[in-house]
Amino acid sequence: MARIEDRAPATATGDAPLNDDIGEELRLRMYRMQVEIREAEQRAYDLFLQNLVKGTSHLSLGQEAVATGFAAAMQPGDLSFCTYRGHAHTLARGVPIERVLGELMGRDIGLMRGKGGSMHLTSAEHGVMGSYAIIGAHLPIACGAAWRAQYKGARDVSVCFFGDGTTNIGAFHEALNFAAVWKLPVVFVCENNLYMEYTPIGDVIPVEHPAASRALAYGLEPILIDGQDADAVYRAASAAYDKARAGGGPSLIECLTYRYSGHSRADPAKYRPEGELDRWKERDPIKLYRKRLQQFGIAEAAITAIEADVKARVDDATETCKASPPPPLDIITTDVYADGGWAWRN
Amino acid sequence: MAELTYRDAVARGIAQEMARDPDVVFLGEDVAKAGGVFKTTVGLLDQFGPVRVRDTPISEQAILGAAMGAAMTGLKPIAEIMFSDFLAVCFDYIANEFPKSRYMSNGQLKCPLVVRTGNGAGSRFGAQHSQSVENWAMMIPGLKVVAPSTPRDVIGLMAAAVRDPDPVIFFEHKSLYAVKGEVPDGEIVDALGTARIVRPGRDATIVALALMVPRAVEAAERLQAEHGIDCEVIDVRSLVPLDTRTILGSVGRTHRLFTVEENPRLCGWGAEIVSIVADEAFYDLDGPPVRITTPHLPLPAADTLEDAVLPSAERIVDRVKRAM
């Protein structure tokens, strides 16, 4: 099984040079993004406890490096297709925090003014082409966006994120086969956080790795990476995007990661074996990356300044959302059809 | 003016739009090299090439999902689902994805595509290849739904569907593919949401769709000749948008309403039309509206059995005569 990080230049080994393939500026950007996702997701949870976030929410606490690495390697114009666990991927494309939290809170400032909710975050101007809450639905849709790029000779890549549980639904297999046969510039990213909702993924697959073990069935290279290491994610993403842009077709990348919270807000995650969460927290992506920054000689003051700035921004965004009114009722009937309205009869 | 089959009109309609707009692309199972299992797309591969006319695996979710992703990002795809019964295996796109992406994104996403599909009975294929499922699509906010009954309408409504900025489900009737009709030369572009009065009449309004339109017209001729009952026949053509003006106007003149539906009875489109007329034109009516439908049954395969369950001209004559 290919592990792209094994082929990458040596990093974080004590005296590795600052000008490695990733570089200081990008590394600081990726650290900031991971902290932003962590703080925003934690805030979403707190706001839920205060009954200010209604409905459901699916957090990416613990999975920040995956969203960060894939987004950081994208170019403007690349397209993200996310799942209901999509806050992180939306933030990672540069969507303002208050537009995300505002949508979760059902406020007018929300990305979709409250018409979509937590599971459907969309920001077309940032390349976030929707978050899809029907498992597997967006894999074929990402194929279609990639088909358009191929047809038009455009160089953008469509990147499709999903969980380990998605690998058992029909649309996953249809999309993988379709993308491989048509050689589409699409990158499928499986975030294997070990649980299909409440069930360990190992209980419901006959192979070791939900995505990587199935890649060969579609003529694709099995790729399994450390999803807790943003650098490893970034390198795997860059390689897959380069391949897609060069006409080399799709990639399927499985990222080993872990979610700290339950499947959704309703799930206390009591099914996890004792000690599992603590073991994963030892490889917390932010802790790990913070250490790497230090190894590369970044000053502690620079790191804490990023952390303080992100916290302040999340606080500001929270206040902005609380001050934002609920959406006006007249938007209930807008944008059903392209004429802006909802008329079904003449 | 030329005579064309409904089958050939499908290819002409698609070709008209592909020639006009390079962003129109076409995909489906066996649609390119084989020209379609119903031979509705013969010649399109030769005319437009393999980049624009593409065969797919047997993967209905991939077909509709890919059409949606392409539509969201700038193409105008036409996707074929071979039999409308198969919409059930990709219904997520019909029910959850196409019609809701614009709304949920507060207008950020668009979905201008056409799903064309072979609908309806008459081929003795049995319960999973013969259904009329236009009501499956009609009940979902965000979709548009059309079902042409003539070769001319196939071309005109295809053009309207492809040019429409919303997702359109285009139901072709398999038992009409061999039917010929006059088609004008040159470009034909129709409007969605327009019903057509195909036979004017004074005594009763019969509203029909697709294969039921010629049967309603045949029944109307016999009712006139044999019983002196002069029926107006309306081809609904477009279930969404629904041309309620034409229907209400007709009922206002005839004071009687009959619907002829091939779909099984419960929640058929005729029920919606009867409900609208009852709400808005109750006092125009001289008698209760009558729905003539396929009974609420799976369709049997044998010719004699299938013929017995579909609304026939005989049954329409009988139901109208008894009600009047």
Q: Which of A214, A137, A144, A239 is nearest to A182 (CA)?
A: A144
Rounded-to-integer distance, Cα A232 and Cα A171, Å:
28
pLDDT at A14 over 70: no
* This prediction's pTM: 0.96
Collapse the DSSP code of A158 into the 3-class scheme (helix H, G, I; strand E, B; otherwise coil) and give the result: strand
Counts of helices then strands in chain B (DSSP H, E): 12, 14
pLDDT of residue A2: 52
Strands B168-173 and B180-183: unpaired
In this complex, do A346 and B241 lie within 8 Å of one another by their Cβ atoms?
yes
Q: Is the pLDDT of residue A12 over 60?
A: no
* Average model confidence (pLDDT) across chain B: 98
- Which of A80, A335, A339, A342 to mutate to probe the B interface, most B CBs <10 Å? A335
What integer is the mean pLDDT of A340-346? 96
- Could you tell me which of A182, A159, A150, A134 has the C-alpha nearest to residue A66? A159
Domains assigned to chain B: 2-183 (3.40.50.970), 196-323 (3.40.50.920)
Element housing A270 (H / E): none
How high is the pLDDT of residue A11? 44
Q: What is the mean pLDDT of chain A?
A: 94
**pLDDT for residue A266:** 82
- Specify whether the CB–CB gap between B113 and B77 falls below 8 A: yes
Provide the pLDDT confidence category of residue A20 given band limits of 50, 70 and 90.
confident
Contacts of A344 in chain B (CB under 8 A): 141, 240-242
Could you tell me the domains of chain A?
Answer: 4-322 (3.40.50.970)
Measure CB to CB from residue B65 to each of A125, A144, A149 and give the nearest one.
Answer: A144
Given an 8 Å threshold on Cβ–Cβ distance, is B66 in contact with A331?
no
Once rounded to an integer, what is the mean pLDDT over residues A293-297? 94
Q: Give yes or no for a contact between A246 and A239, defined as CB atoms under 8 angstroms apart.
A: no
Evaluate if residue A1 carries a pLDDT over 90.
Answer: no
Subunit contact A129:B72, Cβ cutoff 8 A: yes
Looking at the predicted structure, is the pLDDT value of residue A115 above 50? yes
Residue A50 has pLDDT above 90, yes or no: yes
* Beta carbons of A147 and B71 less than 8 Å apart: no
pLDDT for position A3: 53
Rg (CA), chain A: 20
Question: CA A264 → CA A222, A260, A261, B164, B252, distances in Å?
Answer: 29, 11, 8, 39, 55
Asked if B103 lies within 8 A of A336 by C-beta distance, the reply is yes
Q: What are A161's strand-pairing partners?
A: A189
Q: Is B129 a catalytic residue?
A: yes
Give the pLDDT confidence score for residue B151 in this predicted structure.
98
- In chain B, which residues have pLDDT < 70? none
Q: Give CA separation, B159 vs A207, A300, A325, B115, in Å.
A: 48, 64, 43, 13
- pLDDT confidence of A25, banded at 50, 70, 90? very high
Question: Which chain A residue has its CA at the smallest distance from B104's CA?
Answer: A116
Phi and psi at residue B75, in whole multiples of 5°?
-90, 170
Query: What pLDDT is recorded for position A299?
Result: 95
Q: Search chain A and give the residue with CA nearest B50.
A: A151
Strands B231-235 and B196-199: antiparallel
Cα distances from A189 to residues A192, A253, B49, B92, in angstroms, run 9, 5, 33, 22
pLDDT in tens, A225-271: 999 999 999 999 999 999 999 999 999 999 999 999 988 888 888 89
| CA A277/CA A258 separation, integer angstroms | 8
Cα torsion at B189, B193, B196, B197 (round to 10°)? Answer: -160
CB contact B67 to A (< 8 Å): yes
In B, which residues are within 8 Å of A122 by CB distance?
104-105, 108-109
Q: Quote the DSSP letter at residue A119.
A: G
If you count them, how many residues does chain A have?
346
- Rounded to whole angstroms, the Cα distance separating B19 from A49 reads 57
What percentage of residues in chain A have a pLDDT greater than 90? 90
Q: Which tokens is A88 given?
A: 């992180």
Instruction: Identify the burial level of A114 via C-beta atoms within 10 angstroms of its C-beta, where 0-12 means exposed, 13-18 middle and 19 or more buried.
Output: buried
Per DSSP, B94 falls in state I
Name every chain B residue with its beta carbon within 8 A of the beta carbon of A336.
Answer: 102-103, 141-142
For A14, which DSSP code?
S
* Helices (runs of H) and strands (runs of E) counted in chain A: 11, 8
B312/A contact by beta carbon, under 8 A: no
Q: What is the pLDDT of residue A6?
A: 39
Distance of alpha carbon A214 from alpha carbon A176, whole angstroms: 10
Pick from B52, B58, B90, B105 the residue to mutate for testing the A interface (most A CBs within 10 Å): B105
Give residue A19's pLDDT. Answer: 55
Establish if B106 touches chain A: CB-CB under 8 angstroms. yes
Of B80, B89, B148, B144, nearest to B116 (Cα)? B80
Distance from CA of B228 to the nearest CA of A (A): 33
As a whole number of Å, the CA-based R_g of chain B is 19
Is the CB of A137 less than 8 angstroms away from the CB of B97?
Answer: yes
